[in-house]
Amino acid sequence: MPPSLREWLPADELAWCVLDAVAELDLSAMYGDYRADGHGRAAFDPGMMVALLLYAYAVGERSSRGIERRCRVDVAFRVIAANQQPDHATIARFRVRHEEALGGLFPQVLRLCARAGLVSLGVIALDSTQVAASAAGHANLTYEQIAAEILAEAGAVDAAEDELYGEARGDELPPELVDPVSRRARLREAKRQLESEHEAAQLAYLEKLKARAERETETGRKVAGRKPQPPPERIPPDRRVNITDRDSRPVRTKNGFLQGYGVQAVATREQIIIAAEVQIGATDQGLLEPMIRAAAGELDAAGIEEPIGAVVADAGYWKLDQIQKLQHDGIRVLVPPDGQTDGKRGDSRRRGGVYEDMREKLNTEPGAGLYRQRMCTIEPIFGHTKHNRRADRFQRRGRAACRSEWRLITATHNLFKLWRARTLAMAA
């Protein structure tokens, strides 16, 4: 008899932790998506496919072709796949078909970490980073460029068809030669998106004017502050959209701009991620409360009842009303109002009791000690994820798909932490 592959894999390998974790996950949503009447081609077991993706993402292999190759040559992959070898198309289709369910594994993995005692909510840290999209920056086109390309391509197509068919209609072309996903279709969709965004901005402006007028009528006096600024009558000539991934944007990094997304994460002191989201653009302004509420929702879904004690985040998350709401809920918030955390006030126009109170908290030894935990809590997670696990570019396109991928990436980060804890426990 040939040797068993399972005997070649040591007991403390990550693959065993992944298989044990998948055995405890609820995969009913995936199993329920397949026919049970025996008709159709037999599918690979969804549990095996989930374990394969989780392990692949954990070790930094997200390419479907790379996963297929390692199912042939890597012992751990062959053990997880039960010596089966799904091809790259099957792996890619599974990832697309179960996009939402794969993203939904995040709270289930978080629950496993909580059972192992790895989740403590005394202090949590919030931060963001930038991840490249599966799109090139030079694919950003303005409305005028898109319209010009549509006309130019239409003219070129007409000229080519005239040369090919003469006076014939041209619909005699075999259907298998027709490309339904053409560049022209993507250009038209990008043009429609710019038009719809411009229309939405105009409607939002009118709604603000209406609300302002109603408030002035109710109070009998003018509303303080600037009036809403009207959007331009036409689409701005410098307004661009990426025709490859229309949700992606040029985002600033320390090395310049890249075409991508801003990704958010909330983590505990043990570097367990308790919330993960993807945003269009890369600004952190206004995301403090939404991310903490999202973390509370993930904790609730994971069955974790411990309340959040304190939140630390950098100055980019400062939002006065959101800080006050979180503090009203009993959560201690430490966010520098002007980026100064070294005891120096800095030249900021943010003056007043709330700002001074926050500065005083950060200048105390307990406050400074809590805030210093941010650097050793959340920032190493991004470094490990983007550099060690090579998850610095999304494989799929569109915010929904990238959000599912980011949640899968962060879930496997938590699995990695769970495996480390189990390995240490076994060694002890």
Position 341 scores a pLDDT of 41
CA triple 372-415-5, angle to 5 deg = 145
Q: Is residue 425 part of a domain?
A: no
Question: Three-state DSSP class for 374?
Answer: helix
Whether residues 130 and 270 fall in one domain: yes
Residues 68, 110 within the same domain: no
Among 40, 73, 97, the domain-final residue is 97
Q: State yes or no: pLDDT of 198 exceeds 90.
A: no
More confident residue, 243 or 421: 421
At 88-101, the pLDDT tens digits run 999 999 999 999 99
Same domain? 115 vs 179: no
Residues 212 and 274 in one domain: no
Domain stops at, among 242, 262, 278: 242
| Res. 38: pLDDT tops 90 | no
Question: Are 264 and 351 members of one domain?
Answer: yes
Q: Are residues 194 and 265 in the same domain?
A: no
Q: Residue 172 — pLDDT band, cuts 50, 70, 90?
A: very low
* Whether residue 255 is found in the same domain as residue 126: yes
Predicted pLDDT at 207 = 82
Q: Is residue 405 part of a domain?
A: no
Domain range holding 357?
106-135+248-399
Residue 342 is predicted with a pLDDT of 41
Tell me the mean pLDDT in the region 150-176.
Answer: 49
Six-digit token pair at 46? 């969804």
Q: How far is residue 151's CA from residue 147's CA, in Å, rounded to a whole number?
A: 6
11 and 84 together in one domain: yes
Residue 193: predicted pLDDT: 67
Contacts of 310 (CB under 8 A, 6+ apart): 122, 123, 124, 331, 332, 333, 334, 370
Residue of higher predicted confidence among 51 and 155 = 51
| Shared domain check, 367 and 234 | no
One domain for residues 9 and 125: no
Contact 247, 131 (CB under 8 A): no
pLDDT score recorded for residue 56: 95
Tell me: do 123 and 143 sit in the same domain. no
377 within some domain = yes
Band (223; pLDDT cuts 50, 70, 90): confident
| pLDDT above 90 (res 208) | no
Residue 414 inside a domain? The answer is: no
- Confirm whether 411 is domain-assigned: no
Query: Alpha-carbon distance 3 to 8, whole Å?
Result: 9
User: Does 113 lie in the same domain as 89?
Assistant: no
> How much is the pLDDT for 385?
93
Sequence-distant (≥ 6) Cβ neighbours of residue 272 within 8 angstroms:
110, 113, 118, 119, 414, 417
The tens digit of pLDDT for each residue in 122-153 reads 999 999 999 998 887 776 766 566 666 655 65
Structural domain ending residue among the three candidates 210, 242, 274: 242
428 located within any domain? no
Phi, psi of 382, rounded to the nearest 5 degrees: -65, -40
Q: What Rg, from alpha-carbon coordinates, does the chain have?
A: 26
Domain presence at residue 55: yes
- For the chain, the farthest-separated pair of C-alpha atoms sits apart, in whole angstroms, at 91
**CA 292, 296, 301, 307 torsion: positive or negative?**
positive
| Residue 152 forms part of a structural domain | yes
Q: Into how many domains does the chain fold? A: 3
Whole-model pTM: value is 0.79
Mean pLDDT of the chain: 83
* DSSP structure class, residue 308: P
| pLDDT above 80: residue 317 | yes
